[in-house]
């Protein structure tokens, strides 16, 4: 039960961490996107403000019958030294285009030969060669149409490096890269702690139930043994072979054995819940184990006039398992096959090996299982309507499945009603030797 409790607690912590961690990641992404948009908006407003300051110095006049644009008072492009030091450090380049889009003047970076003028903002990547190495610089560019008195004088285009924005985003990325994993780790530890608190009442209730089942089974076994022994002694003391008293004693013995088997099965289920402790696993020869089981069951097959086919490899197969428990699971399946196969039928025991696991197959051509009952046959006390005439309590398959799952394997079944069934035990983590 401890293994089940830990596994359930681990699953609760995993799902809590996955859900809360996903929310944290989405929240962090939202913060990042929001900061990017906010910083870009602030950068664009500042860049637009600089372009307006430069555009304010542009003048035009009528000269020799034509309108002439005067750029002398424009910072950086003209002779105006106002703000020129700050603009030179903050602006990557400045360009002036005619209304037709022809380049008339530029400062710092020379533009490409053909540039299509489009008013508004744009993000560009500029390649620079410095000290025999090429570097990439991201720029934010604004193209501003300059109008005076409704007349388009031309286009002012300036660009500024996005370095301040990139530095801010780099710091934010570093903060999120450190903070989000730490947050997820904290969520995981919190989920583990809360999972333990949530599972504790269930764990205690299940422990009480297991103790009750174990104590009740122990207390019932002694009086059942006494009833069985006294009934057998009474049967032996009767001299007449056919009497009503003998018949009643035989019924008592049969019923007592059935109840005793039921108590033993319940005690087994209570004691072997969860995975097997790896320390009690032993290296066994699976071929030898199946051979011994088949030899024991051959007697019952002869009594029922059944044919027992054994198909085992010639060489041994070594696996790690608890031999008594594994033997119990195989015996439960094999005894069921013998029980539900009529006289003249065939029961087959086969062992198949591959590189990853071994398959133990137990097949018969007996009564089979109705398709509607197959999903429920491994439940405790479940018995198909067509099999209720046979002796049993409906715990054999449940015990077999619990044993195989404790060995980290699984049981599968395929059956056709009226034609027979095939059970397969898959055991993984095989150690070949």
pLDDT tens per residue, range 250-279: 777 777 776 776 666 666 666 656 566 677
The answer to whether residue 339 scores a pLDDT higher than 80 is yes
* 204 phi and psi angles, rounded to 5 deg: -65, -40
- Residue at 328 is within a domain: yes
Cβ atoms within 10 Å, residue 165:
18
Q: Is the dihedral of CA 40, 46, 51, 52 positive or negative?
A: positive
Of the pLDDT bands very low, low, confident and very high (cuts 50, 70, 90), residue 433 is very low
179 within domain boundaries = no
In the chain, how many domains are there? Answer: 2
Which phi-psi region, left, alpha or beta, contains residue 80 (left: φ > 0; alpha: ψ -120 to 50)? beta
For position 129, what pLDDT does the model report? 60
**Helix or strand (DSSP H, E) at 140:** strand 133-148
- Residue tagged 């608190």 (tokens): 197
Q: Which residue has the tokens 């005793």?
A: 260
With 50 as the cut, is the pLDDT of residue 243 above it? yes
CA distance 84 to 82: 5
Q: Hey, which of 70-74, 129-133, 428-432 has the most confident mean pLDDT?
A: 70-74
Q: Tell me, yes or no, whether 125 lies in a domain.
A: yes
Whether 146 is covered by a domain: the verdict is yes
Asked whether residue 283 is assigned to any structural domain, the reply reads yes
Tracing tokens 């370095």 back to the chain, one arrives at 163
Query: Domain check: are 288 and 152 in the same one?
Result: no
What is this structure's pTM?
Answer: 0.54
Strand partners, 318: 285
Q: What is the CATH number of the domain that holds 417?
A: 3.30.565.10
Looking at the domain assignment, is residue 1 inside a domain?
no
DSSP 258-294: HHHHHHHHHHHHHHS-SPPPGGG-EEEEHHHHHHHHH
pLDDT over 70 at 132, yes or no: no
Q: State which of 161, 180, 199 marks the end of a domain.
A: 161
What distance in Å separates the CA atoms of residue 360 and residue 150, rounded to the nearest whole number?
92
pLDDT at 81 over 60: no
How far does CA 376 lie from the centroid of its chain? 26
User: Side-chain half-sphere of 343: how many Cα atoms within 13 Å?
Assistant: 4
Alpha carbon distance, N-terminus to C-terminus of the chain: 32
How far is 96 from 107, CA to CA, in rounded Å? Answer: 9
pLDDT at residue 32, as a whole number:
92
Q: Is the dihedral of CA 122, 123, 124, 130 positive or negative?
A: positive
Look up the domain containing 97 and give its range.
Answer: 59-74+90-161
Q: Which residues on adjacent β-strands are paired with residue 359? A: 352, 426
Domain boundary among 126, 161, 196: 161
What phi and psi values does residue 303 have, to the nearest 5 degrees? -65, -35
Question: What pLDDT is stored for residue 19 in this prediction?
Answer: 93
SS3 415: strand
Query: 23-32: per-residue pLDDT in tens?
Result: 999 999 999 9
- Strands 346-353 and 307-311 turn out to be parallel
Q: Which of 61, 89, 63 is nearest to 73 (CA)?
A: 61
Single residue among 134, 161, 188 that ends a domain in this structure: 161
Q: What is the dihedral of CA 319, 325, 327, 330, to 10 degrees?
A: -100
pLDDT at residue 214 above 60? yes
Residue 217's H or E segment, with its range, is helix 163-237
pLDDT digits (tens, 9 = 90+) for 360-394: 999 999 888 888 888 888 887 777 765 655 556 67
Q: How many Å apart are CA 378 and CA 395, to the nearest integer?
A: 8
CA 284 from centroid of its chain's CA atoms: 33
Q: Answer whether residue 113 is part of any domain.
A: yes
Q: Quick check: 213 and 266 in contact, CB under 8 A? A: yes
The region that residue 145 occupies, defined by phi over 0 for left and psi between -120 and 50 for alpha, beta otherwise, is beta
- How buried is 76 (Cβ within 10 angstroms: 0-12 exposed, 13-18 middle, 19+ buried)? buried
Does residue 9 lie within any of the structural domains?
A: no
Instruction: Please report the sign of the dihedral spanned by the C-alpha atoms of residue 364, residue 365, residue 366, residue 369.
Output: positive
288 and 152 within one domain: no
Tokens of 327: 């033997």
Buried b (16+ CB within 10 A) or exposed e, 362-376: bbbbbbbbbeebeee
């Amino acid at each position: 039960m401890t293994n089940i409790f830990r596994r359930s607690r681990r699953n609760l912590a995993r799902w809590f961490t996955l859900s809360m961690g996903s929310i944290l990641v989405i929240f962090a992404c939202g913060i990042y996107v929001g900061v990017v948009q906010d910083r870009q908006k602030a950068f664009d407003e500042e860049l637009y403000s600089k372009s307006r300051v430069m555009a304010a110095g542009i003048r035009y006049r009528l000269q020799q019958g034509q309108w002439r644009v005067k750029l002398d008072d424009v910072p950086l492009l003209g002779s105006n030294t106002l703000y020129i030091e700050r603009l030179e450090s903050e602006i990557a380049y400045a360009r002036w285009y005619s209304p037709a889009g022809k380049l008339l003047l530029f400062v710092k970076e020379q533009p490409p030969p053909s540039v299509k003028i489009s008013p508004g903002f744009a993000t560009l990547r500029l390649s620079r060669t410095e000290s025999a190495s090429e570097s990439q610089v991201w720029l934010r560019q604004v193209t501003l149409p300059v109008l005076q008195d409704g007349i388009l004088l031309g286009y002012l285009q300036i660009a500024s490096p996005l370095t301040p924005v990139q530095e801010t985003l780099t710091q934010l990325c570093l903060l999120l890269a450190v903070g989000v994993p730490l947050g997820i780790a904290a969520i995981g530890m919190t989920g583990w702690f809360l999972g333990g608190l949530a599972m504790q009442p269930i764990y205690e209730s299940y422990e009480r139930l297991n103790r009750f089942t174990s104590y009740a089974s122990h207390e019932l076994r002694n009086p059942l043994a006494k009833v069985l022994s006294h009934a057998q002694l009474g049967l032996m003391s009767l001299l007449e072979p056919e009497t009503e008293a003998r018949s009643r004693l035989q019924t008592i013995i049969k019923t007592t054995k059935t109840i005793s088997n039921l108590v033993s099965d319940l005690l087994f289920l209570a004691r072997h819940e969860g995975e097997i402790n790896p320390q009690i696993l032993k290296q066994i020869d699976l071929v030898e184990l199946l051979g011994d089981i088949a030899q024991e069951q051959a007697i019952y097959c002869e009594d029922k006039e059944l044919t027992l086919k054994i198909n085992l490899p010639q060489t041994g197969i070594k696996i790690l398992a608890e031999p008594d428990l594994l033997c119990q699971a195989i015996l439960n399946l094999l005894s069921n096959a013998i029980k539900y196969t009529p006289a003249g039928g065939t029961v087959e025991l086969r062992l198949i090996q591959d590189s990853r696991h071994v398959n133990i197959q137990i097949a018969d051509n007996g009564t089979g299982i109705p398709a509607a009952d197959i999903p429920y046959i491994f439940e405790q006390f479940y018995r198909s309507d067509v099999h209720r005439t046979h002796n049993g309590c409906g715990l054999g398959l449940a015990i077999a499945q619990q044993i195989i799952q404790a060995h980290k394997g699984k049981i599968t079944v395929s059956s056709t009603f009226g034609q027979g069934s095939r059970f397969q035990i898959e055991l993984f983590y095989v150690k070949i030797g």
